[in-house]
């Protein structure tokens, strides 16, 4: 129920149509390229499904593949296990990111998923993805 409430509390996203996709008449070229990467090469939409950009399902991103356990800010960083996909509507207004706030900027989250999904995104694709998420 709290979650349903949260869905209704999203801030307005004037560039999105009723399906949660960009209205090309309102969006910039950069945002539109970002949307293409989000739904295409980067496959973010497999889990972050429009219009709210979540599938409401649990996923194990297995970030621990990429580091060895160590203490960070007094907490043992190790396997996180399955976590529910966070919605991305209004995302620019809610840093820090991830369940433990480990990432401070949207740029960081793109770097994170670039690593986790082994995407090999170009700098341009990364910047476009951030521009797209700022419009959500």
- CB count, 10 Å around CB of 110? 24
Task: Please say which residue, 25 or 124, places its beta carbon nearer to ligand HEC.
Answer: 124
Instruction: Please report how close the Cβ of residue 11 comes to ligand HEC at its closest, in angstroms.
Output: 13
Cross-strand partners of 22 = 16
Identify the residue among 7, 46, 72, 115 touching ligand HEC (CB under 6 A).
Answer: 46
Identify the residue among 22, 27, 31, 48 touching ligand HEC (CB under 6 A).
Answer: 48
The pair of three-digit structure tokens given for residue 13, joined into one six-digit string: 């996203």
CA–CA dist 85, 126 (Å, integer): 20
The pair of three-digit structure tokens given for residue 75, joined into one six-digit string: 């907490």
Identify the residue among 98, 107, 111, 134 touching ligand HEC (CB under 6 A).
Answer: 98
């Amino acid at each position: 129920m709290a979650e349903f409430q949260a869905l209704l509390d999203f801030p307005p996203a004037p560039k999105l149509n009723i399906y949660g996709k960009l209205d090309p008449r309102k969006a910039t070229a950069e945002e539109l390229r970002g949307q293409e990467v989000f739904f295409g090469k980067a496959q973010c939409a497999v889990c972050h499904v429009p219009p709210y950009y979540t599938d409401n399902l649990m996923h194990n991103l297995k970030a621990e593949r990429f580091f060895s356990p160590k203490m960070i800010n007094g907490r043992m960083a190790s396997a996180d296990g399955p976590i529910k996909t966070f919605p991305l509507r209004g995302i620019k207004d809610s840093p820090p990111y991830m369940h433990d706030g480990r990432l401070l900027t949207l740029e960081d989250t793109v770097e994170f998923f670039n690593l986790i999904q082994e995407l090999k995104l170009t700098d341009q694709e990364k910047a476009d993805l951030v521009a797209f998420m700022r419009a959500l």
